[in-house]
Amino acid sequence: MSWGHTVSRTKRALVGPLSALLMLSACNGTTDSPVSPSSLSSLLLQDLVNSVAATGVHGAPRPGIAPAPGGGPRIVVSGNQTVVNGGTLAAEVAADAPFQTLYLYVASTTVGLATEAAGGIDGYYEVRLPSPQTQTSVLLAISQTIPLSELEVMFAVADPSGIVGPYVGLTTAVTSVGTGDVQVTLSWDADSDVDLHVVDPAGEEVYYAHRSSASGGELDLDSNAGCAIDGIRNENITWPVGRAPRGQYTVRVDYWSSCGVAQTNYTVRVNSGGNVQIFEGSFTGPGDQGGAGSGRFITVFERATGPTATTLGHAPNASNPSTGSWRGKPTAAPRK
């Protein structure tokens, strides 16, 4: 295992209001550029990353620039190369010496700045762990609105005496998906095929073989379908603003195929009108190639507002969350 610094600094074009941001340089040897860090509107870190948790401990958002590195532990960081707006990013941090504090920020190079100066992305997260350790899992909750096509997330750890080690970057592309009154996302960490299923209040199931419901639900991202590995490792089901019906929704996750990997860890994020829940789990085994009614029960949530649920005239396999069983025999649907 090698211990290094940032892994990638390839930047993509910006979108949204920051598209005019320029790389700060003094090619002509002067400093009279009309664009300077102080003249640019800052993004806040929480505009991009809503929360951070490591080993179950929630990080505290801090203003300003993250602590400077010193001679603390060096780390290796791994995680998905793609995130979706409104989704999650799981990362693993391993160090060459015990640490008790983790720091995280989004590099200003993400928005085209040469340095971590004012006018970039302000703020960082500090996670104080209950005891020293050499490895931890970190979970980031990503904002539903991101004006960027790529994030370079910087990680560092401090030893129990507070000495910070070098920062290491994890660069991840942002894939834009739908949000709305209800958004359910699924993210996983291996080249396997995992499927998201959501049953709406009318009993209509949205999943890979039935991508939209009469109530407005839509699966707009299906990754690694049939083990055709695309590396995105995210799925998203959403109901647009004003369309999500009132009533009960059931969320399941199905291990369609391992595609040859030994284990797959997943995260599900449910956002119903700003009420957010996050669930984590793992799969082993070959997978079941499941269709309607298949999958592991994740949660039930209920909306008290919205239109009356409508259906196309059939209700694929409604759930019984108290027992985790399903009415009717799950049937495998043809894979695209």
Last residue of some domain: 175, 207, 234?
175
Domain closes at, from 175, 208, 228:
175
289: its two tokens: 């190639």
Residues 192 and 161 in one domain: no
Q: Which residues contact 199 (CB under 8 A, 6 or more apart)?
A: 205, 206, 249, 250, 252, 316, 317, 318, 319
Asked which of 158, 175, 192 is the last residue of a domain, the reply is 175
pLDDT: which is higher, 328 or 56: 56
Over residues 313-324, the pLDDT tens digits come to 544 444 333 333
Tens-digit pLDDT profile for residues 17-46: 343 333 333 333 443 433 344 444 568 999
Asked if residue 160 and residue 20 are part of one domain, the reply reads yes
Q: Give 147 or 325, the one with higher predicted confidence.
A: 147
139 and 246 share one domain: no
Tell me: do 100 and 246 sit in the same domain: no
Distance set, CA 76 to CA 2, 112, 166, 168 (Å): 8, 25, 10, 7
Sign of CA dihedral 244, 245, 247, 248: negative
Same domain for 29 and 112?
yes
Q: Is residue 268 within 8 Å of residue 251, measured between CB atoms?
A: yes
% of the chain with per-residue pLDDT over 70: 78
For 104-135, write each residue's pLDDT tens digit: 999 987 777 766 655 579 999 999 999 999 99
Are 159 and 187 contained in the same domain? no
Q: Is residue 33 part of a domain?
A: yes
Question: How many structural domains is the chain composed of?
Answer: 2
Is residue 255 within 8 A of residue 288, CB to CB? The reply is yes
Among the ranges given (12-21, 168-177, 266-275), the one the predictor scored with the smallest mean pLDDT: 12-21
Full-model pTM: 0.81
Q: Which domain holds residue 277?
A: 182-326
pLDDT value, residue 309: 86
Question: Mean pLDDT for the chain?
Answer: 84
200 and 153 in a common domain: no
Whether residue 333 lies inside any domain: the answer is no
Question: Residue 141's domain is classified under what CATH number?
Answer: 2.60.40.2470
Look at residue 117 in the predicted model and tell me its pLDDT: 59
Say if 336 falls within a structural domain.
no
Q: Whose structure tokens read 């396997």?
A: 192
